[in-house]
Amino acid sequence: MQGFAASVKARGAALAKRLAPFGRLEETGVEEGAATWEELRTLAALTGEAPLWRVVVPPAEGGALVRRLEAAGADWALDWAGGLAWLTLDDAEAVRMAASRAGGHATLVRGTAALRERIPAFHPQPAGLAALEARVRRAFDPAGVFELERF
C-alpha cells in the first residue's frame, strides 16, 4: 500500500481484519515489495527452456484449466482473475486442446526453433473465421506486404 501514513495504517488494519480467516499477514518493505512485483512482472518462476504459453480463457475457467495442465506437468501463473494463464509445458497439443475446451485460445510465446517450425504461434482459428480473415487480409494487403511469413 502507498499513500499518507495514517491512510496506509488504517487500510492495512482493515485489510488484516478482513483477511484474518486466511492466515497471518506479513508486512514487507519497499525494496522487498518492488522485488516481488518485478518477479511477477517478468514471470521469473516460469523461466527456463520449456515452451511458454499465454492462454486466455473466460475467468471462471482459469482454475480448472491450470489444474488440468498441472496434472500434465505444467508450471503456471494466473492473472486477470483467472482469465490469463501463463504456463510452461512441452505438450503443445494438450495446451491448445485445454484452451479450446475452456472457450479460449493459446499463444506460443517462447519455444525452440524446432517447435516454432512445427507449431504456429497463434491458436488455429475455426475454418469460417480463418476464411474471413484471409479475405480481409487480401482486401487490405493484396500484394502480401504484411504477410506474417515475411518477418
| 11/78 same-domain check | no
- As for how many domains the chain has, the answer is 2
Q: Which three cell numbers stand for residue 136?
A: 480481409
| CATH classification at residue 139 | 3.30.70
Structural domain boundaries, residue 14: 1-42
Domain identity same for 36 and 53: no
Query: Do both 107 and 141 map to the same domain?
Result: yes
| Phi–psi pair at 53, nearest 5 degrees | -115, 140
Q: For residues 102 and 66, is the Cβ–Cβ distance under 8 A? A: no
d(CA 134, CA 126): 12
pLDDT digits (tens, 9 = 90+) for 14-73: 999 999 999 988 888 889 999 999 999 999 999 988 999 999 999 999 999 999 999 999
Give all strands of the β-sheet with 52-56 in edge-to-edge order. 75-79, 84-88, 52-56, 105-110
Going by pLDDT thresholds of 50, 70 and 90, the confidence category of residue 2 is confident
28 and 77 assigned to the same domain: no
pLDDT of residue 90: 94
pLDDT of residue 93: 96
Q: What are residue 34's phi and psi, to 5 degrees?
A: -65, -40
